Amino acid sequence: MTNSRKPRTTSPTPASWLALDMQLCFALYSASLAMTKLYKPLLAPLGLTYPQYLVMLVLWEEDGQPVNAIGERLTLDSGTLTPLLKRLEAAGLVQRLRDAADERRVLIQLTAEGRALKTRAQAIPQHVLCATDCQLDEVSSLTQRLKSLRDNIAQAAA
């Protein structure tokens, strides 16, 4: 007589839940560090840091956005975003303008130099894709899963 039951899968013991390699937070943190390290030499010729690159990506998608919209998109508070924008302005890549319809709002607009930088940045995503050793559809799927994870965690933390 053969046993047709499936073998039991062992679940981690509560003590092993505290092992570093079991921590989702550490996997995400260390992956983020690795990603930032990968970007550093790619962004250096453009004169951008990784957070500045993220701001530029937002503006390359839609120029002339209010500061608060950029902050919401990047999940950055004004205390973090304002110095980034000032450095980008000092580099001649963006300009801060008062919204004519509402003087309290500050709009961030690309300069000609900031728009031209987009052409130089176009090879970066391909370099990153190659470094992942994944196919484009795998990276796309992983990106969507991470966005969903981020949203679920944010909702749970609220």
Q: What is the mean pLDDT of the chain?
A: 93
Q: Got the DSSP string for 8-77?
A: PPPPPPTTGGGSGGG-HHHHHHHHHHHHHHHHHHHHGGGT--HHHHHHHHHHHHSSSEEHHHHHHHHT--
pLDDT tens-digit series, residues 133-142: 999 999 999 9
pLDDT tens-digit series, residues 36-91: 999 999 999 999 999 999 999 999 999 999 999 999 999 999 899 999 999 999 99
Say what the pLDDT of residue 54 is: 98
DSSP 7: P
Q: How confident is the model at residue 16 (pLDDT cuts 50, 70, 90)?
A: confident
pLDDT tens-digit series, residues 109-118: 999 999 999 9
Say what the pLDDT of residue 1 is: 52
% of residues, the chain, pLDDT over 70: 94
Structural domains of the chain, ranges and CATH numbers in brackets: 47-120 (1.10.10.10)
Say what the pLDDT of residue 9 is: 64
d(CA 94, CA 43) in angstroms, rounded, equals: 17
Q: How many CA atoms lie within 13 A of 14 on its CB side?
A: 0
